[in-house]
Structure 1
């Protein structure tokens, strides 16, 4: 990744470009690099910001989706952002949903891709064979339609992560928090424009999850990407960016 990670006042983030703000939230085991193609495509015309979510830095007792939402609010206040277009993948989408319910005045529109918040097939609930690189490879490949997207570099990243006791405890705590925090009864309160961009072959938040989000969010649209799993912005970046462009054009002032 060619983008510079900035460190300020306890926050780590990438910021590229100028214009309306696109704030990107990564998933539980996702990296900032998951959004590379989005940054490249949109930073010429937008201010694209990706904060590092402090999943591994929270006290265990407060490790959860609500705490991440509070962190996002602190970051938005620190950067003096307003009228943000919030994009979230997987856990990042879930955090985005909690955030817009708590602070709707800061967000203009929401984009969800493979978002948790209703139902997800968790990474496993536990890691009984942490030492097995083949087990980890299989789990990472499960995220995508095309197993080749799970590069050896990506597999090694996840392998290192789940063999770090400090990290794995927090990953499991965060995953449990996300499963407990079902948002079905709250989604109707989100009236801002929402774009759902979903992999038709997502096995972690399957297609029926996207359909339910679309039914429950009153001002939402749903776009499918064929032969695509849980992270469309990584696996099918051109199609993802096409649908994102359509949505951004539609909500322009």
Structure 2
């Protein structure tokens, strides 16, 4: 049964939304963010930080997220790198188009055009969760452009025999389908080792937004995973995964993973490391699924060390 918020709850959530947007606007100004729009189609809203550094890093966010979640880590990356941070189509300010099919192949095509039309000839690439899966496909499509690949708890890989959010989805349980405050708290506990403290009004805004987006998220999740083919038995979870792309990844890859990730098990990292020709692994013992939010400074330091060692 879907939660029915009171008038007071809605009013506090509205105040929370205003607080969140003001916070990100202030952060963006402090970081020197320049906002742009790639008309596409589809439309992609994106942020640029810096233009005078030798190296550029493209950051792709995860499912249900927005580009501003990378503002925390950008504080520690911007002194060494130019940063390009897009909103994935279907999320953030890139808009929702029910006529589009949000498959992994389509995301790759959309970002391929974005990369070419924004004139990115050579860059480092990083992706978190769903953004990691898109980053892998982009790196496979543009091997001469991607100088290094940083994957943070990436989606897309499948470790046979180890329970993950994919198995839950096939069994009919989608952790992103939020119907109540309790569902939201469960999702938070699955994403973070320790859920960050939030003002009550911000939490209530996030709860209402998650409930309001649940059908939209279900559409994107099913199309992204090709759930119709998996549930019909046409393909298996392993066949739908990106495991088969690993052997062709020629650029250096760093796999960052939180040991307390309950969506995508950390044991996937050493498994994928064995499949990749040029890769390293770093496990964060103190974090869950979102090291870029739980420990932005530590992740930034590790990422900068990797890019510094591997830059061409």
1:56-135 correspondence to structure 2 within 5 Å: 57-59=96-98, 62-119=101-158, 120-122=164-166, 125-126=173-174, 130-135=178-183
Q: Distance in 2 between matches of 1:24 and 1:73?
A: 14
Q: Distance in 1 between matches of 2:118 and 2:183?
A: 40
Q: Distance in 1 between matches of 2:304 and 2:176?
A: 42
Q: CA deviation at 1:54?
A: 0.4
1:1-253 correspondence to structure 2 within 5 Å: 1=24, 2-3=27-28, 4=33, 5-9=35-39, 10-18=43-51, 19=53, 20-55=55-90, 57-59=96-98, 62-119=101-158, 120-122=164-166, 125-126=173-174, 130-148=178-196, 153=202, 156-157=205-206, 159-164=208-213, 167-177=216-226, 181-253=240-312
Equivalent residue pairs, number: 253
Q: 1:44 to 1:148 in 2, by over 3 A?
A: closer
* Alignment root-mean-square deviation, CA: 2.5
Deviation string for 1:193-246 (max 9, x for gaps)?
001111111111111111111111110000111110011111111221121121
Q: Distance in 1 between matches of 2:73 and 2:192?
A: 18
CA contact under 8 A between 2:56 and 2:81: conserved in structure 1?
yes
Q: CA deviation at 1:175?
A: 4.7
Q: Which runs of 4+ in 1 moved over 6 A?
A: none
Deviation string for 1:20-47 (max 9, x for gaps)?
1100000111221221222111222211
- TM-score, normalization by structure 2: 0.73
